[in-house]
Amino acid sequence: MVNVGVLVSGSGTNLQSIIDAIESGRLSASIKLVISNKPDAYALERAEKHGIRTAVVRVKDFPSRELFDSEVLRLLKEAGVELVVLAGFMRLISSVLLEGFPMRIINIHPSLLPSFPGLEVQKAAIEHGVKFSGCTVHFVDSGLDSGPIIIQAVVPVKDEDTVEALQKRILAEEHRIYPQAIELFSEGRIEIRGRRVFVRDSQAPDKAVENPKVTIL
């Protein structure tokens, strides 16, 4: 069992997937606190519906990112949080939080990192003509979407895809693998060696996948 703090800025669908996994018994975790930088974030309502404590830390109340993060850190530590989960938290993390939770902050990003960090990644994937996109759960470091990778899910890009259609399929995979990554942490199965993450008692798929799938006559 791991005590989790979740940082959110928006609707909180990934938060909901984590709550659902806990309540169904698929995830050995307890969400101790949900913090948002936006008081109108629907994620807060999701948390409150499930009896989870929430807090709002407003950016405008702090003159620097470091002071903002210091308040977030104080709340997380007071709540007994062991793992910080970013679920649509639209702020860069400063050294204050990174040092407070070294390699204990994770994020999910809607691309196959290190390709397409940052924003508007599905648009970039389609414009670049990639045949596969997906999502990545990774530890957070001082860079932008650059920390060690824990788990990835691959989603084929279809010729007819719009940004919205691709985003919807990737989001479904986010909801599947984010609870898995938290469970791996909870079970103590993750080992970080440099930039690589090794998961004990896991196995990579043997078969390669191609897109498009063609038959040569």
Enzyme catalytic residues: 109
The first and second tokens of residue 58, run together, are 């407003």
Residue holding tokens 């989790």? Answer: 4
Closest to 179 in 3D by CA, of 108, 121, 90, 109: 108
Per-residue b/e over 164-180, b at no fewer than 16 CB within 10 Å?
eebbebbbebbbebbbb
Give the integer Cα–Cα distance in Å for 163 and 23.
Answer: 32
In angstroms, rounded to a whole number, what is the distance separating the alpha carbons of residues 71 and 74? Answer: 5
